[in-house]
Amino acid sequence: MPKINPSIDSVGGFQVAGVHAGLKKDGAKDFTLIVSGTDCVCAGVFTRNKVKAAPVLLDMERLAQNPTIIRAVATNSACANACTGSVGLENARATADLAADALAIDAEQVLVMSTGVIGAHLPMDKIGRGLRLSRGDLGSDWRAAAAGIMTTDTRPKLGSIRVDTAAGSYTIAGIAKGAGMIAPDMATMLSVLVTDAQLSLPDAQAALSSASQQSYNRIVVDGDTSTNDTVLLLANGHSGVEISDDAALREFQAALNALTQYLAQEVVRDGEGVTKFVTLDIINAESEAAAEQIGQTIGASVLTKSAFYGSDANWGRIVAAAGRAGAAFEPDGSSLWVAAGEALPQGQRGLQIFSGGMPTDYQEADAAAIMNEPSITFTLDCGLGGGCATIWTCDISHEYISINGDYRS
212 and 261 both lie in a single domain: yes
| pLDDT the model gives residue 184 | 54
> Tens of pLDDT along the chain (409 residues)?
779 999 999 999 999 999 999 999 999 999 999 999 999 999 999 998 899 999 999 999 999 999 999 999 999 999 999 999 999 999 999 999 999 999 999 999 999 999 998 999 999 999 999 999 999 999 999 999 999 999 889 999 999 999 999 999 999 999 999 865 555 555 458 999 999 999 999 999 999 999 999 999 999 876 667 899 999 999 999 999 999 999 999 999 999 999 999 999 999 998 777 889 999 999 999 999 999 999 999 999 999 999 999 999 999 999 999 999 999 999 999 999 999 999 888 888 999 999 999 999 999 999 999 999 999 999 999 999 999 999 999 988 777 667 666 654 4
CA 6 to chain centre: 15
- What CATH number is attached to the domain comprising 286? 3.10.20.340
pTM: predicted TM-score of the whole model, two decimal places: 0.94
Active site residue 188: yes
Q: Which residues pair with 352 in a beta bridge?
A: 337
On whether both 317 and 231 belong to a single domain, the answer is: no
SS3 196: coil
Report the C-alpha gap between 87 and 210 in whole angstroms.
35
- List beta partners, residue 267: none
Q: Are residues 383 and 261 in the same domain?
A: no
Kindly give the pairing relationship between strand 168-177 and strand 387-394.
unpaired
286 and 194 inside one domain: no
Residue-wise pLDDT tens digits, 253-274: 999 999 999 999 999 998 777 8
Q: Are 151 and 115 in contact (CB under 8 A)?
A: yes
250, 269, 288 - which closes a domain: 269
Strand arrangement, sheet containing 277-285: 358-359, 351-355, 335-340, 375-381, 277-285, 387-394
Query: Which of 95, 151, 152, 188 is an active site residue?
Result: 188
| pLDDT attached to residue 399 | 75
CA 407 and chain centroid, separation: 21
CA nearest neighbour of 362 among 336, 334, 341, 333: 336
In a domain, 388, yes or no: yes
Residue that is last in its domain, among 269, 302, 322: 269
Q: How many domains does the chain have?
A: 2
Q: Is residue 5 part of a domain?
A: no
295 lies in the same domain as 392: yes
H or E segment at 365?
helix 364-371
In a domain, 86, yes or no: yes
Question: Phi and psi (nearest 5°) for 157?
Answer: -120, 115
Residue 129, classed as helix, strand or coil, is: helix
For the stretch 191-225, what's the b/e string if a residue is b when 16 or more beta carbons lie within 10 angstroms of its beta carbon?
bbbbbbbbbeeebbbebbbebbbbbbbbbbbbbeb
Check whether the bond before 186 is cis (ω within 30° of 0): yes
> 247 and 338 share a domain?
no
**Domain presence at residue 389:** yes
Phi, psi angles (nearest 5°) of residue 225: -100, 125
Is residue 184 domain-shared with residue 308, that is, in the same domain? no
Give the CATH number of the domain where residue 135 resides: 3.60.70.12
Count of positions (residues) in the chain:
409
Please tell me whether residues 284 and 217 are part of one structural domain: no
Model pLDDT, residue 185: 56
Short-list 170, 175, 159, CA closest to 113: 175
From 247, 269, 291, give the residue that closes a domain: 269
211 shares a domain with 300: no
Per-residue pLDDT tens for 331-361? 999 999 999 999 888 888 999 999 999 999 9
Q: Are residues 323 and 381 in the same domain?
A: yes
Beta-strand runs (E) in 86-134: 110-114
Q: Is residue 149 part of a domain?
A: yes
The answer as to whether 6 is a domain residue is no
What range defines the domain where residue 347 resides? 277-405
Q: Is residue 8 assigned to a domain? A: no
User: Would you report the helix, strand and coil content of the chain in percent, each value rounded to 5?
Assistant: 35, 25, 40
Q: Is residue 290 domain-shared with residue 321, that is, in the same domain?
A: yes
Within-domain flag for 76: yes
Indicate whether 40 and 131 sit together in one domain: yes
Instruction: Specify burial of residue 254 (Cβ count, 10 A radius: 0-12, 13-18, 19+).
Output: middle
Single-letter code of the amino acid located at 99: A
Q: Which of 378, 374, 377, 404 is nearest to 309 (CA)?
A: 374
Q: How would you classify residue 170: left for phi > 0, otherwise alpha for psi between -120 and 50, otherwise beta?
A: beta
What is the SS3 assignment for 147? Answer: helix
